Amino acid sequence: MKSYKAKEVVSILKRDGWYLTKTTGSHHHFKHPTKPGKVTVPYRTESEDIKIATLKSILKQAMIDLKEV
């Protein structure tokens, strides 16, 4: 699986309809108008790679199929 930068993960979420609700330290919190829950993305710098396990967890929480990415 390809690694993704924090900026790319945020872009994937926004394309799916997620929007930023708040930022706490280095974490960005997103909500969706129709999907339940929230998704948190660690965002220390735009160019930082998100770990594969963290990416899978983010996509699972966002109900985004890995094949869609």
Among the listed residues 23, 21, 31, the one whose alpha carbon sits nearest the alpha carbon of residue 63: 31
Print the domain residue range for 15. 4-68
Q: What is the CATH number of the domain that holds 57?
A: 3.30.920.30
Q: How does pLDDT run along the chain (69 residues), one tens digit per residue? A: 788 999 999 999 999 999 999 999 999 999 999 999 999 999 988 888 999 999 999 999 999 998 877
pLDDT for 24-36, tens place per residue? 999 999 999 999 9
Is the entire prediction scored with pTM above 0.75?
yes
Number of other residues whose CB lies within 10 A of the CB of residue 34: 5
What the block records as the tokens of 61 is 């929480």
Instruction: Please report the pLDDT score of residue 45 as a whole number.
Output: 86
Distance CA 28, CA 67 (A): 24
Distance CA 17, CA 64 (A): 11
Among the listed residues 7, 6, 11, the one whose alpha carbon sits nearest the alpha carbon of residue 69: 11
Domains of the chain: total? 1
